[in-house]
A and B are shown apart, each in its own frame.
Chain A
Amino acid sequence: GDSVTQTEGLVTVTEGLPVKLNCTYQTTYLTIAFFWYVQYLNEAPQVLLKSSTDNKRTEHQGFHATLHKSSSSFHLQKSSAQLSDSALYYCALSDHTGGNYKPTFGKGTSLVVHP
């Protein structure tokens, strides 16, 4: 089956500095989409980024990620972290072989941005 690995459970960064959240995956399927979801305190997870194209940079709300199939990675980065970025971040992949989407999530990384 599919699996998503987020190696850091907690990342802390000073406001204004760059941040990178790691995500690697294993999948036996060829037809896949990749996501980053963000979950703010007491809120539901919501999609932050989505990509299906190898080596193409995807950006949203100052965050960016590039899917690298050669290394099975989809790391999330931001050049200047803001206090409001503090949240839980989940990397996920969705295989849609046969027309049905089955998303698999990583364990999540808690990002804490401090002044």
Chain B
Amino acid sequence: EAGVTQSPRYAVLQEGQAVSFWCDPISGHDTLYWYQQPRDQGPQLLVYFRDEAVIDNSQLPSDRFSAVRPKGTNSTLKIQSAKQGDTATYLCASSFGGSNERLFFGHGTKLSVL
């Protein structure tokens, strides 16, 4: 069974630049999560989807961040104008929300904003 796939693995930006992260969850998993993990901290939930619907995006900085999952499979997280404070690893995870709550994580995208 293929795991959760994320790309790119690394990104380096100047402040003000835009970047997109892509996630392909495990086939059949209806729930998809995006987490931000600053250095030396635990994962912090940004947004999560059930199929194509946003369930909770209350922690997503809506002025610069956006996330979509148009067909209920792959997802894209975009930062419109990056800031140094966005430097972190961005983790995507998926689960089958019906009966199995554990998350399966991708390797993440490590973002550095200079």
A residues in contact with B104, CB < 8 Å: 46
- Kindly list the 5 A-B residue pairs having the minimum CB-CB distance in the complex, ordered from nearest: A44-B105, A105-B42, A47-B102, A107-B42, A108-B42
Binding site for A on B (CB under 8 A): 3-4, 31, 33, 35, 40-45, 48, 50, 55-56, 91, 95, 97, 101-108
* Pairwise interchain contact A101-B41, C-beta atoms closer than 8 A: no
Interface of B is mostly: strand
Q: How far is the CB of B31 from chain A (nearest CB, A)?
A: 6
Q: How far is the CB of A101 from chain B (nearest CB, A)?
A: 5
Q: How far is the CB of B28 from chain A (nearest CB, A)?
A: 16
Question: In the complex the two chains form, what is the Cα distance from A58 to B48 in whole Å?
Answer: 28
Binding site for B on A (CB under 8 A): 4, 6, 9, 33, 35, 37, 42-47, 50, 90, 94, 96, 99-108
* Pairwise interchain contact B33-A103, C-beta atoms closer than 8 A: yes
B residues in contact with A107, CB < 8 Å: 41-42
Contact of A96 among B35, B91, B101, B108 (CB under 8 A): B101
Q: Kindly list 7 other residue pairs between chains A and B, CB separation below 8 angstroms, not including A42-B107, A100-B56, A102-B45.
A: A50-B102, A100-B31, A101-B97, A102-B55, A102-B56, A103-B33, A105-B44
Q: How far is the CB of A20 from chain B (nearest CB, A)?
A: 19
Question: Which of B40, B102, B104 is the most central at the interface, judged by chain A CB atoms within 10 Å of its CB?
Answer: B102
B residues in contact with A50, CB < 8 Å: 101-102
Known contacts A44-B91, A99-B97, A100-B55, A90 near B102 by CB under 8 Å: no
* Pairwise interchain contact B107-A33, C-beta atoms closer than 8 A: no
Q: How far is the CB of B67 from chain A (nearest CB, A)?
A: 15
Known contacts A33-B101, A46-B105, A100 near B91 by CB under 8 Å: no
A residues in contact with B3, CB < 8 Å: 44
Contact of A35 among B33, B42, B56, B102 (CB under 8 A): B102
